[in-house]
Amino acid sequence: MTAWWTQAIQQPNAEQGEQASAHQNQLTKPPGSLGQLEDIAIQLAANQNTLKPKVDNVAIRVFAGDHGVVEEGVSAFPQAVTVEMIKNFCAGGAAISVLAKEQGADFQVVNVGTATPVEDHPKLINQPVAAGTQNFCQQAAMTEAEFEAALGLGKSIAEQAHQEGAQLFIGGEMGIGNTTAASAVAAALIQDELTLEQKVLALVGRGTGVDDKGLTIKQQAVMRALALHQDSISDPVLALQAVGGLEIVALTGAYLRCGQLGVTVLVDGFICSVAALAALSINEKLRPWLIFAHQSEESGHQKVLQALDAKPLLNLGMRLGEASGAAVALPLLRLACSLHSSMATFESAGVSNSDD
């Protein structure tokens, strides 16, 4: 039996995209003058197979997991913050809780695996697949069974969102240490002219705010991990198992399933973009289902976005994660749809069009 994540991704309706593009050129503005807002409306029209795309029903799912690699001293914050923030997400006090509520988006938290258990809560999908990952400087981050369980959890979350009629899926993440894991995965998967060491230096950043000493520790931890796992890192599935994180794997599974079900994804910051990179390395046909919300302040994000040929919508100096950048970009998608559906055409408004 073939693995579910290798099954076909849907194709957006190209004809609908062409009609949307032609429609944009009839609207009362110089062609192209709404920039990326036009591109988004066209992409959503093709993805939703409709003349009038909408993003009324939005599912925001924040995946949380712990990371064994934090014992190397790679984060400015203690591991306990992951579980503490899960509780804060549920209680409504986190940035994403506020942003989701403000915009009427459906919000849930997913515990993919924390070092200590978390009490159940109506907002929490509490299905840990392990007590966090192992320290990948010493051994693989997760077993094959844990990988499949985390990827499968992401799949079922995407399926639930689809069943509930989501027109847009926003994944987020929370996990102390996960910028180290994401940098390691990105260094393994990005193929360019740089040496592995140069890639690591470009991809490892300060995360929650490590100082210069912490940054060096982080770079060296990633370098050691990639040397230890050198035989597996050219394959995306093996790289995720070796140096990934449970929440990163769950996001990868959710993104792939969204593509299989035909649900557009708004990708958040550095860690989410690395999950998108992993998903695209598994199946490049996922690309038209992805919109990139913002460029995070995390230094490696630019390189990841470049590798994805992505033009993020915003650059606000944010580096919070937890889907916050995507939630802040959500109104832009809604505005793009309103403009596309409600602006007058040159003909209907009696405005003279250009001569050619």
Residue 139 amino acid letter: Q
* Dihedral pair phi/psi, residue 59, rounded to 5°: -105, 120
Q: What string marks each residue from 39 to 78 as x (binds ligand NCN by CB under 6 A) or -?
A: ------------------------------------xxx-
Out of 17, 128, 132, 177, the only residue in the binding site for ligand NCN (CB under 6 A) is: 177
Hey, CA dihedral for 303, 99, 78, 228, is it positive or negative? negative
> What CA–CA distances, in Å, run from 150 to 128, 144, 255, 323?
8, 10, 13, 19
Measured from the CB of residue 326, what is the shortest distance to ligand NCN in angstroms?
9
Q: Is 354 helix (H, G, I), strand (E, B) or coil?
A: coil
Q: Is 117 helix (H, G, I), strand (E, B) or coil?
A: coil
The token pair that represents 135 in the structure block = 């320290």
Q: What is d(CA 73, CA 149) in angstroms, rounded to the nearest whole number?
A: 28
- Using the minimum distance from each CB to ligand DMD, give the nearer residue, 259 or 321: 321
Instruction: Report the half-sphere exposure of 3 (CA within 13 A, side-chain side).
Output: 15
Q: What is d(CA 203, CA 75) in angstroms, rounded to the nearest whole number?
A: 15
The token pair that represents 181 in the structure block = 């894991």
Regarding 53 and contact with ligand DMD (CB under 6 A), the answer is no
* Dihedral pair phi/psi, residue 154, rounded to 5°: -60, -40
Measured from the CB of residue 78, what is the shortest distance to ligand DMD in angstroms?
9
Measured from the CB of residue 183, what is the shortest distance to ligand NCN in angstroms?
9
Q: Which of residues 293-322 bind ligand DMD (CB under 6 A)?
A: 320-322
Quick one: CA torsion of 310, 113, 150, 246, rounded to 10 degrees? 40
Regarding 132 and contact with ligand NCN (CB under 6 A), the answer is no
- Using the minimum distance from each CB to ligand DMD, give the nearer residue, 207 or 312: 207
Out of 88, 319, 327, 333, the only residue in the binding site for ligand NCN (CB under 6 A) is: 319
Q: Which of residues 202-231 bind ligand NCN (CB under 6 A)?
A: 207-208
Neighbouring C-beta atoms of residue 210, cutoff 10 Å? 21
Q: Which does 154 bind (CB under 5 to 8 A by kind): ligand DMD, ligand NCN, none?
A: none
Please choose, from the candidates 108, 30, 84, the residue with its C-alpha nearest in 3D space to the C-alpha of residue 343: 30
Regarding 133 and contact with ligand NCN (CB under 6 A), the answer is no
Q: Is 58 helix (H, G, I), strand (E, B) or coil?
A: strand
Regarding 180 and contact with ligand NCN (CB under 6 A), the answer is yes
Regarding 177 and contact with ligand DMD (CB under 6 A), the answer is no
**Catalytic site residue from 72, 173, 247, 322:** 322
* Active-site residue flag, 322: yes
Instruction: Report the half-sphere exposure of 288 (CA within 13 A, side-chain side).
Output: 20
On whether the CB atoms of residues 165 and 54 are closer than 8 A, the answer is no
Regarding 85 and contact with ligand DMD (CB under 6 A), the answer is yes
Out of 41, 46, 60, 81, the only residue in the binding site for ligand DMD (CB under 6 A) is: 81
Out of 24, 208, 264, 281, the only residue in the binding site for ligand DMD (CB under 6 A) is: 208
Out of 38, 146, 148, 322, the only residue in the binding site for ligand NCN (CB under 6 A) is: 322
- Using the minimum distance from each CB to ligand NCN, give the nearer residue, 68 or 177: 177
Regarding 298 and contact with ligand NCN (CB under 6 A), the answer is yes
Chain contacts with ligand DMD (rule: CB under 6 A):
77, 81, 85, 174, 208, 320-322
Chain contacts with ligand NCN (rule: CB under 6 A):
75-77, 173-180, 207-208, 268-271, 296, 298, 301, 319-322
Query: Which residues carry out catalysis?
Result: 322
